[in-house]
């Protein structure tokens, strides 16, 4: 392969690598409905530090004794880490209040753009940038 052709191929590859994450990411309005705010109090079941988002599973006990587990989507782990969030910020069994917006798909039990507040009143998590 000639040097000029090799440079073109390498440049194309670099552009694909850079552009990939942009295509893969979604906007909040693509998955969540800003007209469906939700607030609930429950216990943290699990916190999953995954890319591209952290997910916190919060279980709510209804008046009839049934349980619902919500999947609360947060920002990227690196973004939350820079804002002071650590893996031990919330622990399973901890009671929290969640304010956010419901997913467009009502069966998903997903919540986005959420803020999680501890019983002590400490705001430990914000799904969107302040």
What one-character DSSP code corresponds to residue 110?
E
- 65 or 105, greater pLDDT: 65
What pLDDT score was predicted for residue 98?
Answer: 93
- Higher pLDDT, residue 77 or 126: 77
Which residue pairs, CB below 8 angstroms and at least 24 apart, start in 122-129? 124/85, 124/89, 124/90, 124/96, 125/56, 125/72, 125/74, 125/80, 125/85, 125/89, 125/90, 126/74, 126/75, 126/83, 127/72, 127/73, 127/74, 127/75, 127/100, 128/28, 128/75, 129/75, 129/79
Residue whose C-alpha is closest to residue 99's, from 27, 30, 9, 34: 34
Tell me the pLDDT tens digit for each residue of 7-55: 666 656 655 555 444 445 556 666 778 888 899 999 999 999 888 888 9
Domains of the chain are: 28-122 (2.40.50.140)
Contacts of 68 (CB under 8 A, 6+ apart): 59, 60, 62, 109
Q: What percent of the chain has pLDDT over 90?
A: 26
Position 130 scores a pLDDT of 45
């Amino acid at each position: 392969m000639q040097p000029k052709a090799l440079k073109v191929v390498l440049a194309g590859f670099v552009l694909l690598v850079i552009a990939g994450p942009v295509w893969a990411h979604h906007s909040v309005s693509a998955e969540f409905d800003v007209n469906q705010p939700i607030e609930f109090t429950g216990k943290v079941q699990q916190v999953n530090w995954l890319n591209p988002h952290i997910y916190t599973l919060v279980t709510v006990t209804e008046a009839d004794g049934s349980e619902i587990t919500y999947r609360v989507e947060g920002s990227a782990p690196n973004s939350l880490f820079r804002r002071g969030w650590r893996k031990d910020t919330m622990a399973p069994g901890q009671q929290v209040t969640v304010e956010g917006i419901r997913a467009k798909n009502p069966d998903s039990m997903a919540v986005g753009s959420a803020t999680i507040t501890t019983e002590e009143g400490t705001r430990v998590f914000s799904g969107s940038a302040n």
